[in-house]
Amino acid sequence: MTMHQTIPAQPAKATPKPSRAQFMVEDDKAMLRAARDLTKGLGEARPGIYWPDMLLSAAVGYAGIAVAILSDGLAVKIAAGLVAALALYRALMFIHELTHIHRDALPGFRTGWNLLVGIPLLTPSFMYEGVHTIHHKRTQYGTVEDPEYLPLALMKPWSLPLFVLVALLAPVALIIRAAVLVPLGALIPAVRTFTWERFSALSINPEFRRRPPEGDFIGRVRWQEAGVFAWSWLLIASTFLLGWGPLVTALAILSLTAVLNQLRTLVAHLWENEGEPMTVTAQFLDSVNVPPPGLAAEIWAPVGLRYHALHHLMPSMPYHDLPEAHRRLVRELGTGSTYEGANHPGMLVLVGRIARSTMGKKD
């Protein structure tokens, strides 16, 4: 009789999850393929979603400002101001979509947005177009050339509150830019160059210098600059007819809008890169998704910005398709995947993480 010895099966060794450092030099190609393949059928910007969303947000925002100005009750003023700040914040965030959608995708939307939101809020689309796309470039994200990146997690502790509070001054700074620097620049080339390089981009990197506009973009810049110049002086002139109260109320509301956006910016990334180029996967993991079930992120990160990491995988995906794209990727890739590594529970957790990282930095 032949004896057969049964050799017990050896348990398969778990494949170690790649580290964040590894993704600095190589991509998770399986995740990138999944992002491409699983999102087929998505990606068409729908006018029936963009226009009503933007128009309603702007209408509620301006109505809230009017109520805050005209009301005598402090509680009503505060409530109306809060509603206005949130609504105008959502309307303003469509500037992000304008930088990514194809120029022929939504006929008239760019012009309409500028007339209804960009110029009245002194933040026309040219201040983001041609700037934000640098932030998405493979070799420039997180480097000194990135206008939208600062290694905040590696900076001093006081840098975080300063980063947020400086946004309170944004509305006044925008009026000074439009009412003073723009007309001076039309007369003095040096002022024009200075204004364009330093104060004509929605950037957070103080080292960033914007290059001169080219081609058809020059024409768009000119009419938008003319618009904010005229509107800024109408605002200033209104104080002679209505007093300072209405303008101060509106500026206070817009300051709150600016702070909300700065808080969102603070937690849009982990800010852990020290300036070296990053792979697409490393950029993804340095960015932040705050997916459902929580509802708060839909308020402080509107128009698809709660899926900011996913947006870095698919920059041209319209905001209304990002939730479905996220669901497909989660369903396919599952728990423990690289994709899951960019999902975070909320703003407070993210602020705490960045704050703790700065604690090791001494003045």
Q: What is the DSSP letter of 72?
A: -
> What is residue 269's three-state secondary structure?
strand
pLDDT at residue 352 is higher than 70: yes
Amino acid at 360: G
Opening angle at CA 319, ends 313 and 321, nearest 5: 80
Residues 6 or more apart in contact with residue 223 via CB below 8 angstroms: none
Residues 6 or more apart in contact with residue 32 via CB below 8 angstroms: 280, 281, 313
pLDDT tens-digit map of 10-64: 433 333 445 555 565 578 899 999 999 999 999 999 999 999 999 999 999 999 9
Residue 294's pLDDT band (boundaries 50, 70, 90)?
confident
Average pLDDT of 225-234?
A: 98
> What is residue 81's three-state secondary structure?
helix
Cis omega before residue 293 (within 30°)?
Answer: yes
pLDDT tens-digit map of 278-291: 899 999 999 999 99
Percent of the chain with pLDDT over 70: 92
| Per-residue pLDDT at 1 | 37
pLDDT tens-digit map of 59-101: 999 999 999 999 999 999 999 999 999 999 999 999 999 999 8
Selection from 155, 142, 149 nearest residue 355 by Cα: 155
| Per-residue pLDDT at 22 | 53
Residues 6 or more apart in contact with residue 359 via CB below 8 angstroms: 157
CA distances from 318 to 4, 27, 100, 218 (A): 63, 24, 8, 26
Residue 360's pLDDT band (boundaries 50, 70, 90)?
low
Sequence-ordered alpha helix ranges (H) in 243-279: 245-266
Token pair belonging to 70: 């005209």
| Per-residue pLDDT at 62 | 98
Selection from 63, 67, 123, 64 nearest residue 92 by Cα: 123
pLDDT at residue 8 is higher than 80: no
